[in-house]
Every structure is written in structure tokens, then in C-alpha cells.
Amino acid sequence: MASLSTWGNRLHSGEKTYGIVAHRNRWFLISAVLMALALVILFTKGLNPGIDFRGGTEYIVSGVTDADAQVARDTVAAAYPEETPAVAILGGDGVRVQLGTLEQSDVDALGADLADAYGVPVTNVSSSFIGPTWGQDVSGKAVQGLVVFLVLVAIVMALYFRTWRMAAAGLVALLHDLVFTVGIYALVGFEVTPASVIGFLTILGYSLYDTVVVFDKVRDNTADLFTQHRYTYDELANLAVNQTLVRSINTSVVALLPVSAILFIGSYLLGAGTLSDISLALFVGMAVGTYSSIFVATPLEVALRDTEAKIKKHTADVLALRAGGESDVVREDGTVRVGALQAGHHQGAAAQPRRKRRK
């Protein structure tokens, strides 16, 4: 712990830094590969929409002595061989069975068969029907909510940071997190339910918060960019990422611990279906959100800013001055010591020695 604390202090003080922005092409390539894999899985395997999106009939059998999912599958197969029911264990004495649309008379008959199969009274079996139109409405509202969220995020970030480049980089990071999480859902085969949509929106908010914190530090470090000629925009932005690195890691670990408990203990040991829906989205989204705020959002914002004429000119001026003998404060990997940075801000680009006071 002492070594970890020392490492964090050295990062925050700038004594130790990593060239994250300088190697942005590497992170862009990794993210592009991950996104491509996620899209391939999504379009080849597809998502597993829950009954709320596709419509159908759902049974809840409570008070079961032996909650065996295979009993429900065999019962449904005996009555409707063409159906492939989705069966989930709820707690230790409940079973949820979901299948396609049935007639009302068939719904009652199958409910009685399930009660006989599990040895419980018919009153312990409840059924509900969700029509395809309602499922389409839910899907439409989910997409509408996502679009409205992204539009509002873009507007707020553009107004807050007063630059569209940070807003664009933040949106790309959000889409990066969303596509990756949806790809994991398609790979694992978990049902996509309204709870999953809530989880998606939650991770977008988490990723946005982490990105805004890093962008805030970038803005602070680059506030006096054009009044000094010791450091480039890339170097000051890279310093900001390093200074917030420990905070991002600590926040993610603290957030992932309870979510992992919900995912692995609640879902697999207790068998709570809704917990698995939302916890998988939170777990994957928080982890990839931390990655994107560090390795995607800020490097992309720097890449966009580097296209500006004034940034190009300032960078060229800094490199020209550095060639004249001021490169000692910049390491070979493009990182910069904060001690020298502070000296540069307080003393100017060419600090003058103090004159001796005459007696």
C-alpha cells in the first residue's frame, strides 16, 4: 500500500509520468479492434431480447421445493415442442418461464401443467402476457432515450468546455463504451431487458463523469498555453491524464467491487435474473469507461486540437525554442516534469536569475 501511495503521489506531482497521449495511435488501434470484434459478434450472433421487447407469455412459479429449470423445459416441450422457453431460477424457490404468445385457454392449461410438474398449487403459478406492440414501444422509447441523452451530453459539454472538440471526443468515448458493452451482451447471451437499458444509461453517465474530470484537468493545465513556450498542448494534456490516473483507478475499483458482488453472487448463487441484467452492463461499462476516459477521450481530443493552426504554430515554436537548449525538462517519451512546469508558469519561458540587492 505504501508503494502504491508513493506511486500515486509521484504521478500527481509529475515526478513520474507515462506517455499516454504520445502513444495515442496505439490506443486508437486497440479500441478499433475491440469495436470491430464487438460489432462482428453483435451482427453475427445478435442480442437476446427479453420478453419486454419481443412480447410473449411469462409464468412465475413460487414456493417450489426443487427449483430445477429442466422440469419447466420438459413441461413446455411436452405441450409445445416448437417452443424454446427461457427459464430462470428466482431465489431458491421460484422459477420464471418465458415463451412465445399463447391463447388464453392454452395459458391456463400450461399453468396447470407447471403446477403439477413442480408439485405446487395452481394458485402459486402466475402468468402475464406482453404483446408485440408494447414491446416495440419499449424498444422505441429506449432508443429515443439514448439519442436524447447523447444530444444533451454534446450540448452541455460544448457549453461547459467552450469547445466542440471536447464534446466530440466525449461522445466518441461514450459510443465506444456502449458498443463494447452491447458486444459483450451478445457474446454472453444475457437477456436484454429494460433493466439492461437502465444499466446502459448508467454506465454512460459514469463514463461521462470520469471523462469530464480528466477534461477539467486538461483545461486547467492548458489555460495559459499561449503565454508560455516551454510545453506543447500535447505535453500539458498528457500531464493532466497522469495526474488524474490514480483517481480514475481508485474510483473504478471502489465502484466495481459492489457491482461484481451483485453480478457473481446475486446472479449465479441466488439466481436473480434482474440482477444479472443490470449488473453485467454496470460491470463491463464501468471497466471500459475507465479505459476510454484515459486512453480514448483525451488522446482523441488532443488529436483534434492538433489540427488547429494556432496549436500547430505554438507547438512548432516550443520545439524550436527547445532545440536551443530547453529540452532538459522534457523526457524522451514526450512526458514532462511538473516541477519544471510550475517553474515555467511562474517564471516565464526564459526565467531570469535574481539580481543581487545592493547594500
- The per-residue pLDDT for range 108-123, each reduced to its tens digit, is 889 899 899 988 998 8
CATH of the domain at 284: 1.20.1640.10
Both 166 and 276 in a single domain?
A: yes
Residue 198: C-alpha distances to residues 109, 122, 143, 285 (Å): 35, 34, 12, 12
Residue 159 maps to a domain: yes
Both 175 and 277 in a single domain?
A: yes
Among 77-91, 191-205, 237-251, 264-278, whose mean pLDDT is lowest?
264-278
- Any residues with CB less than 8 A from the CB of 341 and at least 6 apart, and which? 14, 230, 231, 236, 239, 329
Task: Answer with the one of 79, 106, 130 that is the final residue of a domain.
Answer: 130
Q: Give 38-78 pLDDT, tens digit per residue.
A: 999 999 988 888 787 777 888 999 888 888 888 889 999 98
Between the ranges 62-76, 250-264, 324-338, where is the mean pLDDT highest?
Answer: 62-76
pLDDT reading at 347 higher than 70: no
Both 263 and 191 in a single domain?
A: yes
Task: Answer with the one of 80, 98, 130 that is the final residue of a domain.
Answer: 130
Among 88-102, 293-307, 315-329, whose mean pLDDT is lowest?
315-329
Inter-residue contact 71 to 214 (CB < 8 Å): no
C-alpha gyration radius of the chain? 28
Between residues 131 and 59, the one the model is more confident about: 59
Per-residue pLDDT band at 359 (split at 50, 70, 90): very low
Residue 352 maps to a domain: no
**What pLDDT shows up at residue 268?**
60
Residue 354 maps to a domain: no
Range of the domain at 65: 56-130
Task: Answer with the one of 91, 110, 130 that is the final residue of a domain.
Answer: 130
Between residues 348 and 140, the one the model is more confident about: 140
Per-residue pLDDT band at 265 (split at 50, 70, 90): low
Both 121 and 233 in a single domain?
A: no
The average pLDDT across 323-348 equals 50
The average pLDDT across 214-237 equals 91
102's grid cell: 399463447
pLDDT reading at 211 higher than 70: yes
Q: Cα separation of 358 and 341, whole Å?
A: 31
The average pLDDT across 95-115 equals 86
The average pLDDT across 314-327 equals 81
Both 197 and 96 in a single domain?
A: no
The per-residue pLDDT of the chain, averaged, comes to 80
**What percentage of the chain has pLDDT greater than the value 70?**
83
Both 113 and 163 in a single domain?
A: no
Find, among 176, 173, 297, 294, the residue nearest to 244 by Cα. Answer: 294
CATH of the domain at 109: 3.30.70.3400
Inter-residue contact 171 to 150 (CB < 8 Å): yes
Residue 325 maps to a domain: no
Between residues 106 and 335, the one the model is more confident about: 106
Between residues 255 and 227, the one the model is more confident about: 227
The average pLDDT across 182-195 equals 84
The average pLDDT across 220-239 equals 90
pLDDT reading at 302 higher than 90: yes
Per-residue pLDDT band at 280 (split at 50, 70, 90): confident
Residue 26 maps to a domain: yes
346's grid cell: 511562474
Residue type, position 351, single letter: A
**What percentage of the chain has pLDDT greater than the value 90?**
21
Both 41 and 91 in a single domain?
A: no
Residue 340 maps to a domain: no
Domain count, the chain: 2
The average pLDDT across 127-141 equals 75
Between residues 331 and 30, the one the model is more confident about: 30
Both 195 and 61 in a single domain?
A: no
Both 39 and 68 in a single domain?
A: no
Residue 316 maps to a domain: no
Both 275 and 303 in a single domain?
A: yes
Between residues 359 and 306, the one the model is more confident about: 306
Q: Give 74-83 pLDDT, tens digit per residue.
A: 999 988 888 8
Both 163 and 304 in a single domain?
A: yes
Residue 111 maps to a domain: yes
Inter-residue contact 250 to 323 (CB < 8 Å): no
**What pLDDT shows up at residue 155?**
87
Both 232 and 299 in a single domain?
A: yes
